[in-house]
Amino acid sequence: MIDWSEIILRLGAATLAGGAIGLDRDLRGKPIGLKTLGLVSLSTATMVLLAVQAAAPGSFTDAASRVVQGILTGIGFLGAGVIVRHGDHFQIHGLTSAACTLFAACVGIVCGAGHWPIVVTALVLAFLLLTVGKPAERWLHRTLGGKDEPHDPQAAPDQSSDAGPHQPGR
């Protein structure tokens, strides 16, 4: 039986981790934010905690495995909801936000299972990618001779995800 302090720690950590990922998306004006990803992570942690609570101490049962599989299958639908395709030009926006939705779910699963080193390492790496990923992509494209700008928002200014509903101040 997991005690109250451990339940609060696991669910609180999942909510904060998912919310932090969502805050990054929200501050960048992306179509998903703090509340959504905080709830995704809290929801998944809750379900995993329930499955782990029902299992013998220290074991991860087949039932817990099925809970995780169901979560990851279902989260694909939520992630698909933030991906938008504009016109016939194959300009797709929201893939990183969809990936963040999946990541928030995974962090929630790991928080629910109580594996703190994995949570911390995954969060550090995710924020590293979210912070330096775009500049690194641009530099690599220039250095390796790729397309000039693979995600040029100026090519279609009315299609920028910066005009999303979660932009701060809107």
Report the greatest alpha carbon distance in the chain.
Answer: 57
CA distance 144 to 59: 48
DSSP 33: -
- Closest listed residue to residue 39, CA positions, set 8, 15, 74, 73: 15
CA distance 166 to 38: 14
State the pLDDT at residue 163.
47
In the chain, the amino acid numbered 152 is: D
Instruction: Compute the mean pLDDT over every residue in the chain, rounded to the nearest whole number.
Output: 78
Contact (CB, 8 A) for 32 and 25: yes
pLDDT band for position 161 (cuts 50, 70, 90)? very low
Whether pTM > 0.85 for this model: the answer is no
Q: Report whether pLDDT(79) > 60.
A: yes
Q: Report whether pLDDT(86) > 80.
A: no
Q: Report whether pLDDT(155) > 50.
A: no
Q: Which of 41-45, 122-126, 142-146 has the highest mean pLDDT?
A: 122-126
pLDDT digits (tens, 9 = 90+) for 16-73: 998 999 898 888 888 788 888 888 888 888 888 877 776 666 666 777 788 888 888 8
The count of residues in the chain is 170
Contact (CB, 8 A) for 159 and 91: yes
State the pLDDT at residue 158.
45
State the pLDDT at residue 98.
83
Q: Residue 85: enclosing H or E segment and its boundaries?
A: strand 84-86
